[in-house]
């Protein structure tokens, strides 16, 4: 991307020049079979050419290349810590480059100039906000289907609200404690007997699961939620969460 390509042939037998290989992910399609063999052979060499069992220096990241590490133990620790931090950033960076490449055709592509993307259909929708803009790393909207987008958005709003309630339900007993008395008098189950977090699932009586499922059903059927309705777009008439002003 920055320095350009080598002159001449990458594979004379295949008639493949360095200049013929595109940058980024598109280069994968140009690798000859022998090239994949060389890549795999080098990977194998890196794995088996040095002792890397637990307890060895290589297992801790020290392959004896003191330009990257050091003979001084304190300096080596400092450099290895820096390498781990930089490696984490690099892992994020390469994934970011993959996505950018997939969307624009270049790891350095200018999104503003990429007008052909189906994602443009949704970049003015609710939820498009800095710093990620239109966030769809899995490419669900790549087909540009407005109907599918609206269905997924309705689902996202529901799941988001459930998750917010679940988060509050998860942490509130940890902070405020439990109600006094019985959760289920017939079962002799006190609120204090119910552990916090996932362990609480084991204490829910059968009638409790029935109540939970009945309430879920009520939420689904108590209001019109077909495509085009207000509820489908997330507005259930509870203006504390939304507003009368558009």
- Positions at the binding site: 135, 156, 159, 161
User: What are the φ and ψ backbone dihedral angles of 77, each rounded to 5 degrees?
Assistant: -60, -45
Please give the helix or strand (H or E) that residue 80 lies within, else none.
helix 73-104
What ranges make up the beta strands (E) of the chain?
9-11, 16-17, 182-184, 189-190
Specify binding-site residues for chlorophyll b: 156, 161
151 Cβ neighbours under 8 A, 6+ residues apart: 227
Q: How far is CA 244 from CA 127, 192, 237, 238, 241, in A?
A: 19, 41, 9, 10, 10
Residue 114 CB neighbour total at 10 angstroms: 15
CB 65 within 8 A of CB 55: no
3-state class (DSSP) for residue 16: strand
Q: What secondary structure letter does DSSP report for 4?
A: -
127 Cβ neighbours under 8 A, 6+ residues apart: 135, 153, 156
Q: How far is CA 128 from CA 131, 151, 206, in A?
A: 9, 17, 42
Specify binding-site residues for chlorophyll a: 135, 159
């Amino acid at each position: 991307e920055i320095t350009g390509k080598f002159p001449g042939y990458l594979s004379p037998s295949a008639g493949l020049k360095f200049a013929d290989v595109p940058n980024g992910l598109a280069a994968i399609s140009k690798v000859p079979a022998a090239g994949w063999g060389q890549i795999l052979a080098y990977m194998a060499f890196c794995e088996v050419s040095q002792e890397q069992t637990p307890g060895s220096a290589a297992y801790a990241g020290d392959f004896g290349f003191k330009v990257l590490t050091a003979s001084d133990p304190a300096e080596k620790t400092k450099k290895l810590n820096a390498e781990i931090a930089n490696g984490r950033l690099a892992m994020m960076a390469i994934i970011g480059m993959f996505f950018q490449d997939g969307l624009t055709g270049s790891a350095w592509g200018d999104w503003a100039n990429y007008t052909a993307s189906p994602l443009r259909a949704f970049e003015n929708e609710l939820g498009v906000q800095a710093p990620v803009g239109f966030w769809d790393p899995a490419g669900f909207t790549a087909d540009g289907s407005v109907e599918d987008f609206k269905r997924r958005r309705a689902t996202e709003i529901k799941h988001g609200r459930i998750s917010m309630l679940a988060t509050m339900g998860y942490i509130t007993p940890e902070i405020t404690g439990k109600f006094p008395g019985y959760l289920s008098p017939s079962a002799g189950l006190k609120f204090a007997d119910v552990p916090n977090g996932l362990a609480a699932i084991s204490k829910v009586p059968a009638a409790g699961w029935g109540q939970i499922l009945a309430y879920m059903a009520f939420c689904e059927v108590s209001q019109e939620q077909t495509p085009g309705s207000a509820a489908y777009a997330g507005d259930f008439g509870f203006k504390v969460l939304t507003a009368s002003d558009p």
